[in-house]
A and B are shown apart, each in its own frame.
Chain A
C-alpha cells in the first residue's frame, strides 16, 4: 500500500447526502476480477448528466472529493474504494461515513476525513467560488487546509500510523500468528467446521 502522509490538489464538491455504494459504483460494474479499471463505473448513472459536477471541466483534475453526510452507505463492495482511487481520488471529506466503507478505504489507502457539516459547507463554498483553490489533506498534521483556512480532524493513532507507513494489515497480523494458534488450541470442540461436508 502506498504511504499517505499529505496530499495537495484541488477538490470537487458533491452536494449530496446518503451517497450509497450503488451510486458510487453500480452492481453491473462489479464483475471484474481485478482491482483496476473501475473508474468507468464511478458514479456511472450520474455521469450521464453533463451537469453532474464531475463532468464540469473546472473539476476535471480534482483529487479530493468533498461529499455530503453518510457517504458510502449500503453494500460492503470495496470496488467503491477502488473506483474512487482508479478515477484519481486520494481523499474523501464528509461529515459522516458508513462503517464498512470507511474500513475499506483505510485498508486501501484512500484517506477518509471526517469534518463537521458546517466546515464541509465552508469548503463547498470555497471550492465552488474558485475551483482552482488548493486543498491540502495533511495526515501528519491532522488537518485540512483550504486557502487561508485550516480545519483539524481526528483519526485514531493506529490507523494514522498504518496509513503513514503504508503497512499491510495482514503482514502485521502474521507477526502475531502464534497468538492465533494459541487461541485455536482452546476453541470449543462443538464449533462447526465446513469440512468434511455434511449435507
Chain B
C-alpha cells in the first residue's frame, strides 16, 4: 500500500475532526462531511423546510436536530402574542415545521429557549470532536469545545436536513498563539477584538482558526466561547480551541452529557483532540496577552478597533488607500472626529447580551462593576440574558436586583439589540456601547452607531456615560 505523505505528518485539531467525519472522498469533488448536530432557528430555516416539502423529502435525523426561537423574539411581554405580524408568522412557521418533521423545539416561554449558541452548550449537546452547523454565522461559538462548528446558508440547512451531511472543501488552518498573562480588567472580548484588528475582517477567510497558548488555556468556557464566536468577524467560518479539563468539567453532568461508561469512552476520545506537536499550520500568528488592554471598535466593521486608552484615528494614518476611504466613511457615519479621545465619546445606550457576551459569567462580571452604583444620566442600559436558563440562574444569584437597582432594564432572553430584528433597536444617530459582535452600519437599528466592547467596559460606560473601563471608576 502506498503511504501518502500526509499520513506521516502530524495533524492539526481541525484536520483530525475533519478526517473523523468524512463520509465520502472522491477526486475532484468536495468531501462529504457528516454533521453531528444541526441547530435551527426561525430566520434561516423556513425556505429550507419548503424545499423539503417541494421535493417530497424527509428530515433524515430529527434526533440530531434541535430548534429554538431567538432572532425575532421580543424581550418584553412575552406572555402576549408577538406584536409584529411578520415576526409572528416566522416563529409560527418554525413551530409548524418542527411539528410536521418531528423536531424538538424550545419555544418562547420554555426554560430552554434562548440564543441557539447559548442553548446548545447549556444542554450539553455541544461536545468536543463534533461537527456542528446552524444557519447562523456565529455557530463558530461551539468551537470553544474543540468542535468543528460553522455557519451555513439556507440551501445548506436544507441539505443537512435531507442528508445529515454537507459537501465541503477542507479549509486551511491558522494557529493564533496567545501566551502570557492577561492584565487585570482585560477579558476574552478584548483578545478577540485585538485579533480582528490585527488580521482584519478578511484575514481568516478560507481558514479554520485554532486559538492556542497559555492565555487561552487560562480562560473559562464562557471566555473561550466569546473568542470562538467572533472568528467569523475575522472572516473565518470556524474557530476552535482544543478541549482540556476545563472543557470536560463544563460538559460533565449537563443534561445530554455522556453517562457512566460512555463518559469514560468520550473523555478518552476527547483527550486525543489536540494538534500534534509536529502539525504544520498554513499560517501562524502570535499575540502577547500581557500587552493587551481593554479594546473597543470606533468604525463600522469589527476590524476597525483600538485600545480604549487611545484616540479616534486619522484616516490619513492608514497606508492602504482603500482603508483610508473606509475610515473616512466610518468616521462620518459614526459622527466622530479624528484625534478625539475614545474616553470622551458619550454613549446613549448600553447593551449587555448576545451570543458573544450573554452568558452567566458575562452578567456576573458586569454586575460586579455596577453593584452599589447608579446609571449615568440620560443613558439606558438593556441587560438581555442569552437564554431563559441564564436569566433564571442570574435571578437565583440576585443579579437581576443589582441591574434593576443600578437603573438598567432586565429583559427576557434572545438576540435582541445585537441585530434589532425585534423591537430592541437604536434610533437614527443613537450611540451604543454593545457587548455584541457586529458594528456594521445600521446593524442595531437604522442610523444607529455601535461601539463593540467587553461586559466590563459596557458596565463602566453605563456608570460614567462615556466609553470607560472599570479602572476609570
Contact surface of A with B, Cβ cutoff 8 Å: 16-18, 20, 22-23, 26-28, 30-35, 45, 68-70, 73-79, 81, 96, 98-100, 103-104, 107-108, 156-158, 169-170, 172-174, 176-177, 179-180, 183-184, 187-195, 197-199
Query: How long is the Cα–Cα vector from A78 to B46 in the complex, in angstroms?
Result: 12
Map CB proximity to A onto B230-244 as digits: 1 under 8 Å, 0 otherwise: 001001110000000
Q: How far is the CB of A109 from chain B (nearest CB, A)?
A: 10
Nearest CB to that of B266 among chain A residues?
A190
Q: How far is the CB of B414 from chain A (nearest CB, A)?
A: 13
Is there contact, CB below 8 Å, between A170 and B265? no
The 9 closest A-B pairs by CB, nearest first: A107-B155, A104-B153, A33-B46, A78-B153, A76-B151, A198-B255, A190-B262, A31-B86, A78-B154
Q: Which residue, of A27, A70, A74, A177, has the highest number of chain B Cβ atoms within 10 A?
A: A27
Q: How far is the CB of B472 from chain A (nearest CB, A)?
A: 31
Q: Does B156 contact A (CB under 8 A)?
A: yes
Nearest CB to that of A18 among chain B residues?
B301
Partner of B34, one of A183, A193, A199: A183
Q: Does B104 contact A (CB under 8 A)?
A: yes
Q: Which residue, of A22, A191, A192, has the highest number of chain B Cβ atoms within 10 A?
A: A192
- A190 and B153 in contact (CB under 8 A), knowing A198-B255, A199-B255? no
**CB within 8 Å of A: which B162-187 residues:** 162-165, 167, 169
Q: Does B315 contact A (CB under 8 A)?
A: no
Is there contact, CB below 8 Å, between A100 and B153? yes
Is there contact, CB below 8 Å, between A194 and B63? yes
Tally of contacts, chain A with chain B, CB under 8 A: 210
Is there contact, CB below 8 Å, between B163 and A180? yes
Q: How far is the CB of A174 from chain B (nearest CB, A)?
A: 7
Q: Which residue, of A99, A169, A173, A195, has the highest number of chain B Cβ atoms within 10 A?
A: A99
Please name 17 further chain A to chain B contacts, defined as beta carbons within 8 Å, in addition to the given A31-B86, A70-B205, A156-B169, sorted by A numbering. Answer: A31-B72, A45-B442, A45-B447, A73-B201, A76-B137, A77-B153, A100-B137, A100-B232, A158-B30, A170-B55, A170-B57, A173-B163, A176-B24, A176-B32, A180-B34, A193-B64, A197-B104
Query: How long is the Cα–Cα vector from A35 to B47 in the complex, in angstroms?
Result: 7
Chain A binding surface SS class: loop
Nearest CB to that of B161 among chain A residues?
A170
Chain B residues in 8 Å Cβ range of A76: 44, 135-137, 139, 151-153
Q: Does B441 contact A (CB under 8 A)?
A: yes
Is there contact, CB below 8 Å, between B256 and A169? no
**CB within 8 Å of A: which B255-274 residues:** 255-258, 262-263, 265-266, 269
Query: How long is the Cα–Cα vector from A18 to B135 in the complex, in angstroms?
Result: 21
Is there contact, CB below 8 Å, between B442 and A81? no
Number of chain B interface residues as a range:
35 or more
Q: Does B421 contact A (CB under 8 A)?
A: yes
Is there contact, CB below 8 Å, between A194 and B440? no
- A107 and B156 in contact (CB under 8 A), knowing A192-B124, A194-B66, A199-B111? yes
Nearest CB to that of A108 among chain B residues?
B155
Is there contact, CB below 8 Å, between A199 and B162? no
Q: What are 12 A-to-B residue pairs whose CB atoms are below 8 Å?
A: A18-B326, A27-B421, A31-B43, A34-B46, A75-B419, A76-B152, A158-B28, A176-B24, A191-B127, A192-B36, A193-B64, A199-B123
- A22 and B156 in contact (CB under 8 A), knowing A70-B201, A70-B202, A100-B237? no
Is there contact, CB below 8 Å, between A179 and B32? yes
Q: How far is the CB of A61 from chain B (nearest CB, A)?
A: 27
- A170 and B159 in contact (CB under 8 A), knowing A22-B442, A158-B29? yes
Q: Does B420 contact A (CB under 8 A)?
A: yes
Chain B residues in 8 Å Cβ range of A100: 137, 151-153, 232, 237
Contact surface of B with A, Cβ cutoff 8 Å: 23-24, 28-30, 32, 34, 36-37, 43-44, 46-47, 50, 55, 57, 60, 62-66, 71-72, 84, 86-87, 89-90, 93, 104, 111-112, 123-125, 127, 130, 135-137, 139, 151-156, 158-159, 162-165, 167, 169, 201-202, 205-206, 232, 235-237, 255-258, 262-263, 265-266, 269, 301, 322, 325-326, 329, 419-421, 438, 440-443, 446-447
Is there contact, CB below 8 Å, between B205 and A78? no
Query: How long is the Cα–Cα vector from A173 to B152 in the complex, in angstroms?
Result: 17
Is there contact, CB below 8 Å, between B201 and A191? no
Is there contact, CB below 8 Å, between B165 and A26? no
Is there contact, CB below 8 Å, between A74 and B34? no
Chain A residues in 8 Å Cβ range of B93: 33
Chain A residues in 8 Å Cβ range of B441: 22-23, 45
- A173 and B32 in contact (CB under 8 A), knowing A70-B201, A78-B153, A199-B255? yes
Partner of A180, one of B36, B86, B112, B164: B164
Is there contact, CB below 8 Å, between B125 and A192? yes
Chain B residues in 8 Å Cβ range of A197: 104
Query: How long is the Cα–Cα vector from A74 to B258 in the complex, in angstroms?
Result: 34
Is there contact, CB below 8 Å, between A68 and B322? yes
Is there contact, CB below 8 Å, between B62 and A192? no
Q: How far is the CB of A38 from chain B (nearest CB, A)?
A: 11
Partner of B23, one of A17, A79, A81, A180: A180
Query: How long is the Cα–Cα vector from A86 to B446 in the complex, in angstroms?
Result: 22
Q: How far is the CB of A33 from chain B (nearest CB, A)?
A: 4
Is there contact, CB below 8 Å, between A34 and B438? no
Partner of A198, one of B64, B127, B167, B256: B256
Chain A residues in 8 Å Cβ range of B201: 18, 70, 73
Query: How long is the Cα–Cα vector from A108 to B439 in the complex, in angstroms?
Result: 28
Query: How long is the Cα–Cα vector from A104 to B158 in the complex, in angstroms?
Result: 12
Is there contact, CB below 8 Å, between B155 and A169? yes
Partner of B104, one of A31, A99, A180, A195: A195
Chain A residues in 8 Å Cβ range of B50: 33-35
Q: How far is the CB of B409 from chain A (nearest CB, A)?
A: 21
Is there contact, CB below 8 Å, between A30 and B265? no
